[in-house]
């Protein structure tokens, strides 16, 4: 087992390397001359050369990449924001907790709702409720996340006034749990809306698969009650693939969170990168993209290790 | 009781052969269609999608107005006989714009799907067919792209370009092929070990013709399914990009950019029809396409699971 963990961890290093190359290439593809802001019609051309040298843009692209990755790996430095000159790492790190809070809540809600739906739909396949849940899951996948966010906001925040329209808290003075939950509810539910749809569908097919297995038939044959068969024998095994699906869908979740954060003015990474796009703050855009990708890789790593723990059928030696 | 007439027999024999081959040729498609027909959701999806495609094609003839005609005196009108979906804040007829918008949104969806399927099939085929280190490197790149949240990538590339219909197609397709590439690769890995590939190689066929004439035709089922489901996800991506102002630009109507009006929360409560109708078209189309895709998956290969 430790061998498997080490092997799997080492595998993600080349992956992170390729991700950093892709992100860097996108950044250098950005149009416009980075020295343009320093151009002065009265200035000497030599000065411009000096600035170019200082910024390092006169060097070939692989040298630029090497310098960039060296700073990143050794000092955790992702450059400086074009907007306010603050370190990008610092700007992102203060946004990460809000994003994790939102996404984590949405994931937990979606699991708590999707699993019972999936189990019920599988056990009572083709029942009326199964059809209703199926209709919901198709609808949930088809509705754009920003659309549902706007509808929810209009109905529950603006028309009914049950929840605050935006933000994460009412005041920064003191921590107020109720206030935080109150603010978190709408964005988290909106984000969970789509997640529940896809996860309950997945849970349903996973359970249907498991119910057909021999060990479930054996459990029935030895006279266990249906409840025990479903919850003790089938559910445990049906749950395993859910671990992978959560990690696999994480990139989509980041994308969804980007919209929800922007619409609900939630101070997370998505909103940071969204606002950075409109002021062309490339360092911040690349930073958030890279951090999001790293979080995805870590989550997948974690999911694979967890999977190996709960499913002994995984062969540790092979990837 | 006479002896059987040899002439009749012979003519029967002559007739049987072409019939048999014809039958066998039809059976693959026919069986798929037969299974597909049984799936009520899939058939409903197909009918709805066909209707929407017809609306897009016939837009100039069935629209109540012209897409570029604005009458500011008629802005924000409720749905009525003259304007069945109402009018927007500029006084444009929403039904007309939704109909013309379906031309744009569906064109983007189809072309993007074709682009990403082409890239995905070629990439996956090369990776799966050659295997070894090439496969390893190519698949790590796919892993890397899939680890980066797609929407971040879309926004970055979209923000680097002047937004037009073509840039939208380009942006969505350059990152949209990875899922298909992975599946094509997997199919090819399993197909290339079969005997008939060995036989083709033995007859001296080149790699390219082996891939195109022997390997890919056997991987067609998953490709068709993914391509169909792709249309749905492209419609959603286009809508999202246009909603943010990075996709199709007004005055050209698209379902996504018609929703932009909903960003103004103070007015949307008073004029909810402006975002509702384009929103409905997006949702209905995406659902229809997903039904078709699921139906195709079950019809083409009942063993295939999501």
Q: Which secondary structure element, helix H or strand E, spans residue B198, and what is its range?
A: helix B195-202
pTM assigned to the model: 0.84
Q: What is the pLDDT of residues B190-214, one digit of tens each?
A: 888 888 888 888 888 888 888 888 8
Residue B124 has which token pair?
């996956």
Closest residue of chain B to A157, computed from CA coordinates: B265
B147 min Cα distance to partner chain A (Å): 5
- The yes-or-no verdict on residue A58 having pLDDT over 80 is no
The three-state secondary structure class of A166 is: coil
State how far the Cα of B187 lies from the Cα of B162, in Å rounded to an integer.
Answer: 38
Topology annotation, domain A88-310: MetI-like fold (1.10.3720)
Of A14, A159, A288, the CB nearest to B140: A14
Would you call A221 exposed, middle or buried from its count of C-beta atoms within 10 A (0-12, 13-18, 19+)? exposed
Measured in degrees and rounded to the nearest 5, phi and psi for residue A192 equal -70, -25
Reference B67, options B244, B250, B248; nearest CA is B250
Within a domain: B103: yes
Contacts of B259 in chain A (CB under 8 A): 144, 146-147
Mean pLDDT of chain B: 82
Whether residue A258 and residue B149 make contact (CB cut-off 8 A), yes or no, is yes
A242 has pLDDT over 60: yes
Average pLDDT rounded to a whole number, residues B146-155 = 86
What is the percent of chain A with per-residue pLDDT over 90, rounded to a whole number?
12
Judged by CB atoms closer than 8 Å, whether chains meet at A15 and B144 is answered as: yes
Region B66-93: what's the mean pLDDT?
74
ipTM of the complex, rounded to two decimals: 0.83
CB contact under 8 A, A254 and B149: yes
Coil, helix or strand at residue B118: helix
Place of tokens 């004029």: B271
Write out the two tokens for A115. Answer: 């699993």
Structure tokens that stand for B12 in this block: 């029967």
Give the structural domain span for B49: 29-65+83-300
Contact A147 B259 (CB under 8 A): yes
Domain ranges for chain A, please list them: 88-310
Contacts of A15 in chain B (CB under 8 A): 140, 143-144, 147
Closest C-alpha to B94, from B84, B105, B104:
B84
Residues of B in contact with A22 (CB under 8 A): 144-145, 148
Chain B residues with a Cβ under 8 Å from any Cβ in chain A:
140-141, 143-153, 155-157, 159-160, 232, 236, 239-240, 243-244, 246, 259, 262-263, 265, 268-269, 272, 275, 279, 282-284, 286-287, 290-291, 305-306
Task: Please give the average per-residue pLDDT across A32-51, as a whole number.
Answer: 64
Residue from B149, B262, B293 whose CB has the most chain A CBs within 10 Å, to mutate: B149
What is the three-class DSSP state of A80? strand
Which of B147, B243, B265 is facing A15, going by the closest CB pair? Answer: B147
- Name the β-bridge partners of A80: A87
For the CA atoms of chain A, what is the radius of gyration?
Answer: 24
Here the CATH number for the domain that contains residue B104 is 1.10.3720.10
Do B70 and B253 meet the contact criterion of CB atoms below 8 Å apart?
A: no
Confidence at residue B1, expressed as pLDDT on a 0 to 100 scale: 44
Q: What is the pLDDT of residues A85-125, one digit of tens each?
A: 788 888 889 899 999 999 999 999 999 999 999 999 988 88
User: DSSP readout, A98-128?
Assistant: HHHHHHHHHHHHHHHHHHHHHHHHHHTTTSH
Q: By CA distance, what is A280's nearest residue in B? A: B159
Between A and B, how many residue pairs show a Cβ–Cβ distance under 8 A? 132
Cα A94 from Cα A84, distance rounded (Å): 15
Collapse the DSSP code of B87 into the 3-class scheme (helix H, G, I; strand E, B; otherwise coil) and give the result. Answer: strand
Q: Is residue B173 part of a domain?
A: yes
Please provide the average confidence, as pLDDT, over all residues in chain A: 83
Q: Cα distance from B12 to chain A (closest Cα, Å)? A: 49
Q: Total structural domains in chain B?
A: 1
Chain-centroid distance of CA A316 in Å reads 27
Q: Across the strands, what pairs with A87? A: A80
Backbone angles phi, psi at A197, to 5 degrees: -55, -50
Q: What is the pLDDT of residue B47?
A: 94
Residue of B109, B138, B152, B232 to mutate, testing the A interface (most A Cβ within 10 Å of its Cβ): B152
Among all residues of chain B, which has the CA nearest to that of A147? B279
């Amino acid at each position: 087992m430790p061998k498997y963990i080490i092997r799997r961890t080492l595998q993600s290093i080349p992956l992170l390397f390729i991700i950093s190359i892709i992100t860097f290439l996108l950044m250098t593809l950005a149009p416009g001359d980075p020295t343009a802001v320093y151009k002065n019609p009265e200035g000497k051309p030599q000065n411009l050369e000096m600035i170019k040298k200082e910024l390092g843009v006169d060097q070939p692209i692989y040298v630029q990449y090497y310098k960039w990755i060296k700073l990143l790996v050794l000092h955790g430095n992702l450059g400086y924001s074009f907007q306010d000159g603050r370190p990008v790492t610092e700007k992102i790190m203060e946004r990460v907790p809000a994003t994790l809070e939102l996404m984590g809540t949405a994931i937990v809600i979606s699991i708590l709702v999707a699993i019972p739906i999936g189990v019920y739909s599988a056990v009572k396949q083709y029942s009326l409720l199964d059809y209703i849940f199926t209709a919901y899951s198709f609808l949930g996948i088809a509705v754009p996340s920003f659309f549902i966010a706007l509808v929810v906001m209009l109905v529950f925040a603006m028309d009914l006034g049950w929840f605050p329209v935006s933000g994460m808290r009412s005041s920064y003075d003191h921590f107020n749990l109720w206030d935080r939950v109150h603010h978190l509810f709408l964005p988290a539910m909106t984000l969970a809306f789509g997640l529940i749809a896809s996860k309950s569908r997945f849970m349903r097919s996973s359970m249907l698969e498991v119910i057909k297995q021999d060990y479930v038939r054996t459990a029935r044959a030895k006279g266990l009650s249906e409840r025990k068969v479903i919850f003790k024998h089938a559910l445990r095994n049906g749950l395993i693939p859910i671990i992978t699906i959560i990690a696999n869908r994480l990139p989509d979740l980041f994308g969804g969170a980007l919209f929800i954060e922007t619409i609900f003015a939630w101070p997370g990474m998505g909103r940071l990168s969204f606002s950075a796009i409109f002021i062309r703050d490339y360092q911040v855009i690349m930073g958030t993209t890279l951090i999001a990708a790293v979080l995805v890789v870590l989550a997948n790593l974690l999911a694979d290790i967890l999977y190996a723990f709960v499913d002994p059928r995984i062969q540790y030696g092979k990837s | 009781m006479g002896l059987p007439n040899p002439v009749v027999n012979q003519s029967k024999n002559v007739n049987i052969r072409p019939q048999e081959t014809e039958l066998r040729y039809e059976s693959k498609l026919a069986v798929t269609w037969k299974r597909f027909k049984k799936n009520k959701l899939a058939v409903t999806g197909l009918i709805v999608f066909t209707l929407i495609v017809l609306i897009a094609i016939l837009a100039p003839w069935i629209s109540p107005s012209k897409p570029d005609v604005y009458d500011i005196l008629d802005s924000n009108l409720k749905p009525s006989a003259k304007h069945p979906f109402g009018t927007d804040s500029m006084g444009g007829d929403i039904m007309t714009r939704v109909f013309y918008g379906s031309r744009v949104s569906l064109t983007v969806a189809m072309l993007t799907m074709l682009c990403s399927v082409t890239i995905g099939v070629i990439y996956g085929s090369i990776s799966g067919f050659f295997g070894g280190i090439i496969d390893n490197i190519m698949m790590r790149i796919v892993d890397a792209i899939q680890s980066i949240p797609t929407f971040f990538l879309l926004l970055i590339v979209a923000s680097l370009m002047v937004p037009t219909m073509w840039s939208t197609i380009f942006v969505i397709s350059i990152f949209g092929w990875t899922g298909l590439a992975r599946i094509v690769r997997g199919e090819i890995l399993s197909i290339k070990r079969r005997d008939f590939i060995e036989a083709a190689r033995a007859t001296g066929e080149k790699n390219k013709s082996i891939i195109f004439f022997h390997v890919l035709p056997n991987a067609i089922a998953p490709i068709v399914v993914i391509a169909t489901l792709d249309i749905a996800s492209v419609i959603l991506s286009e809508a999202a990009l246009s909603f943010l102002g990075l996709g199709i630009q007004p005055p050209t109507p698209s379902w996504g950019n018609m929703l932009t009006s909903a960003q103004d929360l103070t007015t949307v409560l008073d004029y909810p029809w402006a975002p509702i109708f384009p929103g409905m078209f997006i949702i209905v189309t995406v659902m229809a396409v997903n039904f078709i895709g699921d139906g195709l998956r079950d019809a083409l290969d009942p063993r295939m699971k999501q």
